Structure 1
Amino acid sequence: MIIKPILVLLLQAALALTAQQAYGQQPLRFAVDNRHSDPIPPYSWYNQCKKVHQGFNNALYKKIAADLSLEAKFIEAGLAENTIDMLNQSTALLMENKADFALAPPSFIQQRNQLTAGEKPVTATSPVLILAASQAEITEVKQLEKLNGVGVNSADAVKILKLQNVNINVNKVGSIKEAVMHLARGEQDYWLTDKFIAQYLINDLGLQSKVRISKLKVGTSIGLHIMTNQQPVNQERLQQIDQLLASYHQNGYIEYLKFRVMQSWLANKDCANSAD
């Protein structure tokens, strides 16, 4: 009789569907920076007071998971010394299948062919040079060697300019607000930071007459994409996430989120010091 084989096939199909549905309800695992790594506002930091990860990345991950009716699970990456190392640590979790998604530049695909990037960048980082109002315009980066710089993640600034054969001396301070205020008071000459951070602080603190953004190009804009590994379910999820991100850009949610987390950072930065 052929009834028994048909029943077996139906049972196998039902079990496969049940397994697929169960797997589809698994939490989305997002890679986040190590709690002991330096904070990178507005993107990522660890709130030592509340014992939670915060920032643009974290808030976006929660939004994506909620809109897919799934739970967001955060997988902490290894300790990192600078921003590039943080990206390396996060994407390593994807390659080891310990996490499903992370934010990183598409250049990481060239280095790791096991990864796939989302269709369009979620946001972009654009390095700019902030000058004290009294400081003459900088026409070439080599001039910075004779000036006094300030920074929060000073290792990143040093590395960016060292690639251009420029060796700088940067005074490291505890927060981005402290960095820009050093310029406003004329205590330092320049600060290499992200364009969004610079514009937000200048406007929020009313420093338009105290500091300015230099016209000198110090680096290229780098797009941050959602990255995933080659797991089939993650490849499918990536298509869904791309659609969500397109809607977020269209309705202005991405820009709103960046401003919101900057406000949160400035209000709670004392809780984002290096871990105890």
Structure 2
Amino acid sequence: MRKTLKLIALSLLLSTHSLIVSAEQMVVGISAFQEALPPILWQDCKGSNQGYAALLYRQLSKSMNMELAGHIITAEKEQQLDATSAALENGDFNIIATANTEFLNKQLTYASEPFIKSSLAIYSKKVLPPTSKPWLALNDMEGYWVVSLPSMAPAVRIELQKKVGPDTEINMQFNYNEAILALDSGEIDYVVTRRLLGNALIEHLGITQTIQVTDLALPIGSVYLGVAKNSQLIHRLDDINTFLKDFRSSGMNRVMMNASMNRWLRNREENCNPSAQ
């Protein structure tokens, strides 16, 4: 029987409305096909945006003394690239997050510091043998493969298939929280996800002492902020890089991810049924 590895995809989303960008505004471009997926982002019972991405964008815009807003790029999936390019040309937004730095690189200049740094890890109850190729251990175990952005899913699928071989079926699903719970209960042997997400979840669940964490070296891209070349924001690129570097080196990325995870898991108990996995 072939083993099944499951992908769990998360994406970034902000509260949005259409506007013309001014020099004092940071307006995030968002595909209409992106979904609010906690703990990256979700809406609470009051309709307020919560989550890691929302907090990070708010802190970034505040540090630069700019207003924050969003612009939804509405188009059929096949026309998303053209619609995004047209919105950039029209000045509807001036910044966008993507894992693909080839994305509209004629219209965007990318920050050198990642918005979300790619760092994947294997979570297991078993102590994996020390090796330079930790993914080899996955061949003999059942578990879930987790990725935090849909745009990364194709890259993950390709790299994973190379490592584990063509006989392993790779499926996608949307519940990393249940994946960690299944690991803790012994239903599965491992979970692979971003270290930032996985660490926040096992800390919230109080299982850091029973779960082993092993770094997984795979060439999967980080998420970067692209700034519109035709906007005034392009002149603040150094400020964006400085903020992102200080944000990560100070450990605030871990603090905010943990806070977002805790708030989301608490909000899931509320009757209004906020976005949840």
The TM-score normalised by the length of structure 2 is 0.67
Q: For residues 1-276 of structure 1, what are the structure 2 equivalents within 5 Å?
A: 23-25=22-24, 27-32=25-30, 34=32, 37=35, 39=37, 41-42=38-39, 44-47=40-43, 49-77=45-73, 94=88, 97-105=91-99, 107-109=100-102, 112-133=105-126, 141=135, 144=138, 147-150=141-144, 156=153, 158-164=157-163, 165-166=165-166, 167-169=168-170, 172=173, 174=175, 176-214=176-214, 217-220=216-219, 222-249=221-248, 252-269=251-268, 271-273=274-276
Cα separation, 1, equivalents of 2:142 and 2:89: 41
8 Å CA contact 1:130, 1:192 repeated in 2: yes
1:90–1:29 distance in 2 versus 1, CA, 3 Å: farther
Letter in 1 for 2:68: A
Higher-Rg structure is 1
1:265–1:169 distance in 2 versus 1, CA, 3 Å: same
Cα separation, 1, equivalents of 2:258 and 2:115: 15
Stretches of structure 2 that go unaligned for 5 or more consecutive residues are 1-20
Q: CA RMSD in A?
A: 4.1
Q: Which has the higher contact order (CA 8 A, sep 6+)?
A: 2
Larger proportion of helix = 1
Q: Aligned to 2:218, what secondary structure does the other structure show?
A: coil
1:119–1:34 distance in 2 versus 1, CA, 3 Å: same
1:251: Cα distance to partner? 5.1
Q: How many residues were matched structurally?
A: 243
8 Å CA contact 1:124, 1:221 repeated in 2: no
Q: Deviations over 1:157-210 (max 9, x none)?
A: 545413544533558463x33211101111012212111222222333232454
Stretches of structure 1 that go unaligned for 5 or more consecutive residues are 1-21
- Paired-residue identity, %: 17
8 Å CA contact 1:148, 1:169 repeated in 2: no
1:97: Cα distance to partner? 4.0
- Stretch deviating more after TM superposition (127-136 or 236-245): 127-136
Cα separation, 2, equivalents of 1:62 and 1:23: 17
Cα separation, 1, equivalents of 2:31 and 2:267: 18
The TM-score normalised by the length of structure 1 is 0.67
1:252–1:191 distance in 2 versus 1, CA, 3 Å: closer
